[in-house]
C-alpha cells in the first residue's frame, strides 16, 4: 500500500516538474552490489572478488538519467558515498547547464 502511494506521488510530481521547470524531481536507486569478475569455473571462481557498486539518478522532469559506478577499493556504499554521488550529480548538472 505504501509503495503504491509513493509511486503515485512520484508520478504526480514528475508531471508537475514537466510543467514547472523550476521544480526538481530526482529518483535515486542504488543497485545490488555486483561481484567482479563474474566467473563460473576454474581456480579464479574460488578467489575473492571485488564488489562493484552502481547508483543511478533519474531526473524525472526531462526523462534523463545518470549512472555512477565505483568499486569497493575506491569507497564503500554508505550514506557518505551516496551523498558524494548527489554532489557529483549536482556538479555535473551545473557544468552542463553552463556549457
pLDDT at 62: 83
Of residues 7 and 41, more confidence is placed in 7
- The string of pLDDT tens digits covering residues 49-75 is 889 999 999 988 888 889 999 999 888
Average pLDDT over residues 71-99: 86
Average pLDDT value for the chain = 87
pLDDT at 99: 60
- pTM score of the predicted model: 0.73
Average pLDDT over residues 9-36: 90
Assess contact for 58 and 27: CB atoms under 8 A: yes
Residue 98 pLDDT greater than 80, yes or no = no
Domain residue spans of the chain: 2-98
CB-based contacts of 89: which residues, under 8 Å, 6+ apart? 26, 57, 66, 68
Residue 40 pLDDT greater than 80, yes or no = no
Assess contact for 82 and 26: CB atoms under 8 A: no
How far does Cα 55 stand from its chain's mean position? Answer: 3
Other beta carbons less than 10 A from residue 10's beta carbon: 14
- Cα gap 47→60, rounded to integer Å: 41
Amino acid at each position: 500500500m505504501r509503495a503504491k502511494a509513493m509511486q503515485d506521488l512520484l508520478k504526480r510530481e514528475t508531471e508537475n516538474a514537466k510543467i514547472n521547470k523550476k521544480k526538481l524531481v530526482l529518483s535515486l536507486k542504488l543497485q545490488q552490489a555486483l561481484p567482479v569478475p563474474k566467473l563460473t569455473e576454474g581456480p579464479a571462481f574460488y578467489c575473492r572478488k571485488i564488489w562493484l557498486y552502481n547508483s543511478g539518478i533519474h531526473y524525472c522532469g526531462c526523462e534523463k538519467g545518470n549512472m555512477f559506478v565505483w568499486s569497493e577499493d575506491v569507497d564503500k556504499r554508505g550514506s557518505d558515498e551516496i551523498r558524494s554521488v548527489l554532489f557529483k550529480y549536482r556538479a555535473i548538472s551545473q557544468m552542463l547547464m553552463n556549457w
